[in-house]
Amino acid sequence: MATKSGFLTEAGNGGETHRHEPQAANPANDHLTTNQGIKVSDNQNQLKSGERGPVLLEDFVLREKIFHFDHERIPERIIHARGSAAHGFFELYESLSDITKADLFQRAGEKTPVFTRFSTVAGGAGSVDTPRDVRGFAVKFYTQEGNWDLVGNNIPVFFIQDAIKFPDLIHSVKMEADRGFPQAASAHDTFWDFISLMPESSHMILWAMSDRTIPRTLRNIEGFGIHTFRLVNAAGQSTFVKFHWKPKQGLASTCWDEAVKIAGADPDFHRRDLFEAIQRGDFPEWELGLQTFDQAFADALPFDVLDPTKIIPEEILPVRLVGRMVLDRWPDNFFAETEQVAYCPANIVPGVDFTNDPLLQGRLFSYLDTQKSRLGTANFHQIPINQPKCPVMNFQRDGQMQMQVPKGRANYEPNSLADQGEITGPRECPAHGFTTVAAADAPTEQGDKLRIRPASFADHYSQARMFYRSLDVAEQSHVAFAFTFELSKVDFAPIRTRMLGNLMNVDPDLAARVAGGLNMPLPAANDTAAPVLDMDPSPALKIINGKLDLHTLKGRSVGILVADGSDAPTVEALKAVVTEAGGLPVIVAPKIGGVTLSDGKLAKVDKQLAGFPSVMVDAIAVILSDDGCASLINEGAAVQYVMDAFGHLKAIAADGGAQPLLNKAGVVPDEGVVAPNKGFVAAAGKRYWDREPGVRKLPRAPKD
């Protein structure tokens, strides 16, 4: 029967209407209130006239609740909408007072709170975590002299040289305007049409088609400030700087097939990974690196340091590691913090300054403007996540959602109200206030008003070529595959041909592979605006076999597939060695309720096989009795579990009982297929790239 609360009670208890308590226990005995502070007596039922009668308009409890719910969403970011963030701190290794007066860089060992948001670029807020895409890497430093936002990406260059092209770039990569798809994907006509017509995107597109854009986790990406910035010391001397973030966890990527499958298995894969790592105390860490240089060094380079499509190879100018960032706290509330955080490259502190990079200059306008439209008010800086952790005092007043209650009459400056004993408000601070670096360093940085791209920005291919030639051979074939895959989704053939013409300038071998993969004739190279240089390769750009390709199980996971009858001591020993190596053993079985191992005991199962394919882990072990294996041999999820681990070049440990399953999954013995003993730990921390040619046909060079 119906009760006051609307829940069915033990009906038939004499027809008595009594209250059913649906809430969990509430030890604090807190009461629900409306937003006006009125205690709510019933949160289950609208106010009605009679038991089955009409709802009354006067029900302010209902109206306020629904009204607020209706407005829960705000416009999502036009780009970088999908993101995950965490709190942490930046700790300085040594004082940098010789090159910057920035307060956070003065005292070795000092910690500055940060809030860091990682994002994809193209997809909406609800899109998956693993498309092929650039990752945003935005850090808000809450320094004692105000907020400094370093709003970078996981790629050290950008698609375009001038901010005026940004809306075109983003329109081209987003869902096509008439059809509303594809979501979070660059593999479509409009994107490649734009790219093929923008040779300046050549360097960035090589990075975008590399394994950099399919990272294994957000903990395994580098970060870059991209533009050349300046550091300014107390004497007013300016030093050019490029910012880098180096992951202590190493660099690691997925195979494309794996990234696609993760998207289905766990659309929140990267967010969950970051969350879980922080929750278990395995705090991700990056070191802040600086490349600093002066005007003379800049003048000697074969490209312009104001051009954001160029890097300075680490081999030419080493990266100095000056501190570390540790992310150790997940936000309390996703919307309040991760969604409402408002980064802006224009947020800099005394001791940091801009250069005339035309992309950076455009960004300085855009972010403040977008926050107004996204967060709805010029007072967005008062939202807790955006508030500086130092005093904020000025005469800016009013506006929507003003949270402060300034006292007194003084809302202008200068004022003489102090003479009358009134509150007078703050004053300028010539000694410590922000001052812009006075002079342009080069005469070409001033002159007539022009809409022009300087000749020093004209070389669009040399660094793209250098990037490609710096990669490991396995990565090179991934680049060729990525171009082939993406261009295969382009319907309009002339776009593909034009892109091949650009690739001819990057590297004829790459162009030939892609043309072969598309089964299209190789066109002549497109015209170039400047000669293409053969620069020395930069090994620091590799992921595979590079400096940050850490062969480790630390922070990585191993899926241990078991079934009833699996050998208990082997399973226990494996868990122990993986844990000892800092890895995460995950017991995977056909049923979540448990599995009876060889010792007859019911063992805990962490994940159910069908819901946790091997793409979720970094290596697998398969421990099965003969009967257990027989029970799984016709189970698609089990066969696929092993087949994918092998195809994704992961280590596989298996006991004798598991062999028939391995055979069915097409596993061919190699050094990554090992016994389930202590040696597995060394094998499990890496991928077996040599296996790749045997499992997938990547576009190879004609000579291969």
Backbone angles phi, psi at 83, to 5 degrees: -150, 165
Q: Is 308 in the site for ligand HDD (CB under 6 A)?
A: yes
Q: Which residue from 92, 184, 118, 76 is spatially nearest to 331, judged by alpha carbons? A: 118
Considering only residues 310, 324, 363, 478, which one is a binding residue for ligand HDD as defined by CB under 6 A? 363
Residue from 29, 31, 45, 80 carrying the catalytic annotation: 80
Considering only residues 88, 123, 131, 152, which one is a binding residue for ligand HDD as defined by CB under 6 A? 152
Q: Of the ranges 366-374, 406-414, 607-615, 621-629, which one interacts with ligand HDD (CB under 6 A)?
A: 366-374
What is the C-alpha to C-alpha distance for residues 606 and 109, in angstroms, rounded to an integer?
40
Q: Of the ranges 283-291, 358-366, 429-437, 485-493, which one interacts with ligand HDD (CB under 6 A)?
A: 358-366
Considering only residues 226, 385, 553, 622, which one is a binding residue for ligand HDD as defined by CB under 6 A? 226
Size of the site for ligand HDD (CB under 6 A): 25
* Alpha-helical regions (H) of 489-624: 493-506, 508-518, 568-580
Q: Of the ranges 290-298, 357-365, 454-462, 621-629, which one interacts with ligand HDD (CB under 6 A)?
A: 357-365
Q: Is 158 in the site for ligand HDD (CB under 6 A)?
A: yes
Query: C-beta of 92: minimal distance to ligand HDD in Å?
Result: 23
Query: C-beta of 692: minimal distance to ligand HDD in Å?
Result: 31
Residue from 147, 153, 154, 347 carrying the catalytic annotation: 153
Of 331 and 425, the one with the shorter C-beta distance to ligand HDD is 331
Query: C-beta of 166: minimal distance to ligand HDD in Å?
Result: 4
Q: Is 215 in the site for ligand HDD (CB under 6 A)?
A: no
| 155 class by beta-carbon count within 10 Å (0-12 exposed, 13-18 middle, 19+ buried) | buried
Q: 3-state SS of 103-148?
A: HHHCCCCCEEEEEEEEEECCCCCCCCCCCCCCEEEEEEEEECCEEE
Q: Is 370 in the site for ligand HDD (CB under 6 A)?
A: yes
Q: How many other β-carbons are positioned within 10 Å of the β-carbon of residue 64?
A: 15
Of 153 and 570, the one with the shorter C-beta distance to ligand HDD is 153
Single-letter amino acid code for the residue at 597: L
Ranges within 260-279 binding ligand HDD (CB under 6 A): none
Of 204 and 654, the one with the shorter C-beta distance to ligand HDD is 204
Contact indicator for 235, 229 with CB cutoff of 8 Å: no
Of 1 and 78, the one with the shorter C-beta distance to ligand HDD is 78
Query: C-beta of 689: minimal distance to ligand HDD in Å?
Result: 29
Q: Is 286 in the site for ligand HDD (CB under 6 A)?
A: no
Query: C-beta of 128: minimal distance to ligand HDD in Å?
Result: 17
Ranges within 57-116 binding ligand HDD (CB under 6 A): 77-80, 83
Peptide bond into 414 cis (omega under 30): yes
Of 363 and 496, the one with the shorter C-beta distance to ligand HDD is 363
Q: How many other β-carbons are positioned within 10 Å of the β-carbon of residue 322?
A: 20
Considering only residues 113, 182, 267, 362, which one is a binding residue for ligand HDD as defined by CB under 6 A? 362
Q: Is 361 in the site for ligand HDD (CB under 6 A)?
A: no
Q: Of the ranges 152-160, 258-266, 587-595, 626-634, which one interacts with ligand HDD (CB under 6 A)?
A: 152-160
Q: Of the ranges 355-363, 460-468, 593-601, 610-618, which one interacts with ligand HDD (CB under 6 A)?
A: 355-363
Considering only residues 151, 185, 550, 563, which one is a binding residue for ligand HDD as defined by CB under 6 A? 151
DSSP state of 266: -
Considering only residues 119, 161, 201, 463, which one is a binding residue for ligand HDD as defined by CB under 6 A? 119
Chain position carrying tokens 């940085």: 445
Q: What do you get for the CA distance between the two ends of the chain, in Å?
A: 77
DSSP secondary structure string for all residues of 393-430: --S----TT------SS--SSS--GGGGT--------T
Q: Is 358 in the site for ligand HDD (CB under 6 A)?
A: no
Question: Residue 190 is inside which H or E element, if any?
Answer: helix 189-196
Q: Is 173 in the site for ligand HDD (CB under 6 A)?
A: no
Contact indicator for 182, 175 with CB cutoff of 8 Å: yes
Q: Which residues lie across from 215 on neighbouring strands? A: 253
Contact indicator for 235, 435 with CB cutoff of 8 Å: no
What is the C-alpha to C-alpha distance for residues 131 and 331, in angstroms, rounded to an integer?
24
DSSP state of 527: P
User: Cα separations (Å) of 111 from 77, 90, 319, 327, 543?
Assistant: 30, 5, 21, 12, 30
Q: Which residues contact 200 (CB under 8 A, 6 or more apart)?
A: 159, 160, 161, 309, 457, 460
Contact indicator for 294, 239 with CB cutoff of 8 Å: yes
Considering only residues 90, 115, 343, 688, which one is a binding residue for ligand HDD as defined by CB under 6 A? 343
Q: Is 153 a catalytic residue?
A: yes
Question: Residue 641 is inside which H or E element, if any?
Answer: helix 636-647
Q: Is 153 in the site for ligand HDD (CB under 6 A)?
A: yes
Query: C-beta of 169: minimal distance to ligand HDD in Å?
Result: 8
Q: Is 182 in the site for ligand HDD (CB under 6 A)?
A: no
Of 217 and 228, the one with the shorter C-beta distance to ligand HDD is 228
What residues act catalytically? 80, 153
Contact set with ligand HDD (CB under 6 A): 77-80, 83, 117, 119, 136, 138, 151-153, 158, 163, 166, 226, 308, 341, 343, 359, 362-363, 366-367, 370
